[in-house]
Every structure is written in C-alpha cells, then in structure tokens.
Amino acid sequence: MRTNESSENYLEVILVLSKTRPVVRSVDVAEELGFKKSSVSVAMKNLRERNHITVTKEGFIYLTEEGRKIAEMIYERHELLTQWLMELGVSKETAEDDACRIEHVISKESFEALKKHIN
C-alpha cells in the first residue's frame, strides 16, 4: 500500500470532497488544490492505473477500497497532527501546513504511539 506524497494528497482531497459533494470530478480536485486541470488529469490516470480510484464515463471519481484505506489513513493523521500542534500553541494555519508535511513521513509505529499518548 506504499504510495508517494502527491498520490496521498490527491486521495485525501478526493475523500474530503466526497464528504461534502454528491460527486467529485477532476475539476473539483483541481480547484481545491489550485492546480491546472491537465496536471490533475495526469494524476487521476496514475491513480486509476494503481487501482486507487475509478472514474465513470461522466467523469465522477470514486475511491476504490484500497484508495479509501490510504485516504482515510492520511486524513486521520492530518486531523490528529493538526489538533495536537494547535493544542501545543501552534497557529491553525501553521499546524495545518506542518501536519500536511508530517502526515506523509511519520512511521506507523510513531503515529500510533503519538495517537495513544494524545488519547
């Protein structure tokens, strides 16, 4: 289930958008990330090839089971790390930015220990 940071970010955004929209399209992902539609199209092709998403003929994007697992793991890390940093006195904006970087590199062992400590 190893992926790169870029793929993880795309999967996380698809997950977050799917919580507030009936369907997610490439244009929604591009708008959310501030990327060109062409860049997002290439990323969606790569995610499809890795079986992390499916795309309907109408252009609706859905996470596969494997894609959802990755997205939920990254989203959980993001949420917990952001909250923890804010509780330490870090501003919300900085906490969000730092959590976004940390969530991709922290080991499962370290994250679980941190989660246990926080909870």
pLDDT in tens, 25-77: 999 999 999 999 999 999 999 999 999 999 999 999 999 999 999 999 999 99
Please say whether the beta carbons of 66 and 1 come within 8 A: yes
> In whole angstroms, what is the distance from residue 45 CA to residue 64 CA?
14
Which region holds residue 59: left if phi is over 0, alpha if psi is between -120 and 50, else beta? left
**How much of the chain exceeds pLDDT 90, in percent?**
93
Burial of 42 (0-12, 13-18, 19+ CB in 10 A): exposed
4 vs 20 pLDDT, higher one: 20
Q: Mean pLDDT of all residues in the chain?
A: 94
For residue 3, give both structure tokens.
């992926």
Q: How confident is the model at residue 118 (pLDDT cuts 50, 70, 90)?
A: confident
Tell whether pTM > 0.95: no
- Residue ranges in 21-91 assigned as alpha helix (H): 26-33, 37-49, 65-87
Q: How confident is the model at residue 98 (pLDDT cuts 50, 70, 90)?
A: very high
> In whole angstroms, what is the distance from residue 108 CA to residue 115 CA?
10
